[in-house]
Amino acid sequence: MPIDGSIINRLARALGLSALTALACTAYALTAAGQGGTVAVTGDGTTSSTTKPAVGDTIPDDDATTTKGKKRKKSPGAAAAKAAAETHDVGPPPTSDQRAIAALVNDEPITGFEIEQRAVMLSGSEVQTRAKANFEAIVKNPKTSERLKALLQDTARANQGKSREEIIAIFERRKKEFGMSLQRQAFESARAQSLPAMKKQALEELIDDRLKTQEAKRLSVTIEDADVDRIIKGIAERNKMTLEQFQKQIGGSLDPIKGRIRATLSWNEVVRRKFGPLINITNKDVDKLVASTSTSGNDDVELQVQRIRIAMPAKIEEHGVAARIQEADKIRQKFTGCPSTASAAAGVPGARFEDLGKQRPSAIPEPTRTLLVNAADGEMLPPTMNEGSIELWVVCGRSVVKAADEKRNQAEGELKQREFELMAKRYLKDLREDAHIEYRIDVGSR
Q: How confident is the model at residue 208 (pLDDT cuts 50, 70, 90)?
A: very high
- Residue environment code for 187-216, b if the CB has 16+ CB neighbours within 10 A, otherwise e: bbbbbeebbeebbebbbebbbbbbbbbbbb
Question: Is residue 19 predicted with pLDDT exceeding 60?
Answer: no
Tell me the percentage of the chain whose pLDDT exceeds 70.
Answer: 71
Q: 380 and 267 in one domain?
A: no
| 279 lies in some domain | no
With beta carbons less than 8 A apart as the criterion, state whether 139 and 20 touch: yes
| 158 lies in some domain | yes
Tell me the percentage of the chain whose pLDDT exceeds 90.
Answer: 17
Question: Is residue 195 predicted with pLDDT exceeding 90?
Answer: no
Per-residue pLDDT at 28: 38
Alpha carbon distance 255, 35 (integer Å): 19
Higher pLDDT, 102 or 10: 102
Q: 300 and 256 in one domain?
A: no
| 19 lies in some domain | yes
Higher pLDDT, 336 or 43: 336
Range of the domain at 212: 5-89+96-271+438-445
Candidate ranges 320-324, 390-394, 399-403, 441-445; pick with highest mean pLDDT: 390-394
Q: 227 and 143 in one domain?
A: yes
Contacts for 68 with CB less than 8 Å, ≥ 6 apart: 432, 435, 436, 437, 438, 439
Question: Is residue 273 predicted with pLDDT exceeding 50?
Answer: yes
Q: What is the CATH number of the domain that holds 366?
A: 3.10.50.40
Give the count of domains, the chain: 2
User: DSSP letter string over 341-369?
Assistant: HHHHHTTSTTEEEEEEEEE-GGGS-TTHH
The reported pTM is 0.50
Overall average pLDDT of the 281-295 stretch: 72
Q: 79 and 118 in one domain?
A: yes
With beta carbons less than 8 A apart as the criterion, state whether 193 and 414 touch: no
Overall average pLDDT of the 43-61 stretch: 35
| 386 lies in some domain | yes
Per-residue pLDDT at 414: 87
Question: Is residue 139 predicted with pLDDT exceeding 60?
Answer: yes
- Alpha helix segments (H runs only) across 219-242: 225-238
Q: 141 and 28 in one domain?
A: yes
Q: How confident is the model at residue 209 (pLDDT cuts 50, 70, 90)?
A: very high
Q: 180 and 44 in one domain?
A: yes
Q: How confident is the model at residue 300 (pLDDT cuts 50, 70, 90)?
A: low
Q: Which of 30-39, 89-98, 342-351 has the lowest mean pLDDT?
A: 30-39
Question: Is residue 213 predicted with pLDDT exceeding 90?
Answer: yes
DSSP 137: H
Question: Is residue 270 predicted with pLDDT exceeding 90?
Answer: yes
E strand or H helix at 209, and its extent?
helix 164-218
Residue 28, SS3 per DSSP: helix
| 429 lies in some domain | no
Mean pLDDT of the chain: 75
Q: 257 and 312 in one domain?
A: no
Structural Rg of the chain based on CA atoms: 35
| 255 lies in some domain | yes
Which residues is 67 bridged to in the sheet? 438
The beta strands (E) that lie in 101-210 are given as 101-105, 108-111
Alpha carbon distance 232, 237 (integer Å): 9
Q: 83 and 36 in one domain?
A: yes
Question: Is residue 43 predicted with pLDDT exceeding 50?
Answer: no
Phi/psi at 69 (nearest 5 deg)?
Answer: 95, -150
Q: How confident is the model at residue 299 (pLDDT cuts 50, 70, 90)?
A: low
Q: 75 and 218 in one domain?
A: yes
Overall average pLDDT of the 234-243 stretch: 89
DSSP 67: E
Q: How confident is the model at residue 216 (pLDDT cuts 50, 70, 90)?
A: very high
- Alpha helix segments (H runs only) across 293-346: 318-334, 341-345
Q: 139 and 37 in one domain?
A: yes
Per-residue pLDDT at 221: 92
| 432 lies in some domain | no
Per-residue pLDDT at 446: 57
Per-residue pLDDT at 94: 59
Q: 222 and 332 in one domain?
A: no
Q: 190 and 314 in one domain?
A: no
Alpha carbon distance 297, 46 (integer Å): 48
Contacts for 267 with CB less than 8 Å, ≥ 6 apart: 212, 213, 215, 216, 424, 428
With beta carbons less than 8 A apart as the criterion, state whether 159 and 47 touch: no
| 407 lies in some domain | no
